[in-house]
């Protein structure tokens, strides 16, 4: 049996898991439902059951467990501030509860910071001192590497809050920050889905119309990309609008953090062939950067859907080695 840790990436809809060796090899991956209605008892049981499943499959216990969550995360407690996304998680001492239930050291961090940990240890930021990660899925997450360091502030959120940049103050959907037009409301996969559903509800002709009126929830990001492939006018138009919004977010990321590279991950990047080229062009055309005309590469994470698990595993290995998460 190899030494390993377990990483959990707990998002708004799914909890991904896996064992990770020191070299970054992932074993025994798993996916379970999460979300607002799950409740703490069921979430804790899901995590415990996954630890038991992986331990049995690999023939021994992990050295440590890493947890990634949205919101402000205290490494020794769990989520300490995150209204709305997972019912009951805010203030719930899930780190201590899981450690007690399993007898294994546990550490937690914000899911955006987890993404930059993954790239720093196993991905496209291994050769850099300045980088930004943007995760695009149910929401938008971010992580920042500055001068070779992944920093934390007293409020636990440094570099993780690109999603709450206000991009359209007058109008736009309401964010959990009580602002309208934040990046989360305009650049997530959910944002694109909501825009297309809105068009369908208003009767704009589309190849998705029949499917929408049969079951509105069937119109998700993947369905929209299928529409794009069929050159559906509504889907293509909304994807272009969404891509422009994402481009402005990345322009802001460069001006705030001066990365050498922007690394995209999350479920939406599985459709990057439909938006990456115009996204890169927009970013390079609108940078105020020295030397003038210097662009910033926007690249797809090679870790893709596994970035969250690998990032929490990197934090768990840090705990094993006595580092401060």
pLDDT tens-digit readout, 50-67: 999 999 999 999 999 999
Check if the beta carbon of residue 42 is closer than 8 Å to that of residue 50. no
The answer to whether residue 82 scores a pLDDT higher than 80 is no
Using the predicted structure, report yes or no on whether residue 69 has a pLDDT greater than 60. Answer: yes
Pairing mode, strands 298-300 and 262-265: parallel
Closest CA to 249 of 184, 308, 305: 184
| pLDDT higher than 90, residue 152 | no
Tens digits of residue pLDDT in 98-139: 999 999 999 999 999 999 999 999 999 999 999 999 999 888
* pTM value surpassing 0.85: yes
Instruction: Please tell me the predicted confidence (pLDDT) of residue 151.
Output: 87
User: What is the rounded distance in angstroms from the CA atom of residue 221 to the CA atom of residue 212?
Assistant: 13
Spatial separation of the C-alpha atoms in residues 155 and 74, rounded to whole Å: 9
Give the pairing type, strands 72-74 and 78-81.
antiparallel
- Least confident stretch, 81-90, 118-127, 183-192, 283-292: 81-90
Query: 311 Cβ partners below 8 Å, 6+ apart?
Result: 7, 9, 66, 68, 109, 113, 114, 115, 116, 117, 118, 119, 121
Q: Which domains does the chain carry?
A: 5-116+306-320 (3.30.420.40), 127-301 (3.30.420.40)
Cα angle 128, 134, 137 (rounded to 5 degrees) comes to 150
């Amino acid at each position: 049996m190899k030494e390993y840790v377990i990483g959990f990436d707990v998002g708004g809809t799914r909890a991904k898991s896996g064992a990770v060796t020191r070299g970054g090899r992932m074993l025994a991956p798993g996916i379970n439902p999460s979300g607002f209605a799950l409740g703490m008892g069921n979430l804790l049981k899901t995590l415990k059951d996954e630890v038991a499943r992986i331990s049995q499959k690999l023939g021994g216990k992990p050295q440590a467990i890493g947890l990634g969550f949205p919101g402000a995360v205290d490494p020794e407690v769990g989520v300490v501030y995150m209204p709305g996304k997972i019912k009951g998680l805010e203030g719930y001492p899930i780190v201590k509860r899981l450690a007690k239930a399993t007898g294994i050291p546990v550490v937690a961090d914000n899911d955006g910071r987890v993404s930059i940990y993954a790239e720093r240890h196993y991905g496209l930021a291994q050769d850099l001192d300045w980088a930004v990660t943007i995760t695009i899925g149910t929401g938008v997450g971010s992580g920042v590497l500055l001068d070779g360091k992944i920093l934390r502030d007293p409020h636990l959120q440094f570099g993780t809050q690109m999603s709450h940049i206000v991009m359209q103050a007058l109008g736009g959907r309401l964010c959990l920050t009580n602002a309208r037009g934040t990046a989360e409301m305009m650049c997530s996969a959910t944002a694109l889905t909501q825009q297309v559903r809105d068009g369908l509800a208003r009767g704009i002709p589309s190849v998705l119309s029949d499917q929408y009126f049969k079951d509105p929830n069937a119109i998700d990001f993947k369905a929209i990309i299928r529409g794009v492939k069929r050159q559906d006018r509504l889907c293509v138009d909304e994807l272009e609008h969404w891509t422009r919004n994402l481009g402005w977010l990345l322009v802001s990321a460069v001006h705030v953090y001066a990365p050498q590279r922007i690394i995209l991950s999350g479920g939406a990047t599985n459709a990057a062939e439909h938006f990456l080229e115009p996204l890169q062009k927009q970013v390079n055309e609108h940078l105020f950067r020295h030397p003038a005309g210097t662009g910033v590469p926007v690249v797809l994470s090679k870790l893709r859907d596994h970035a969250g698990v690998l990032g929490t595993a990197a934090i768990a290995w840090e705990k094993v080695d006595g580092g401060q998460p």
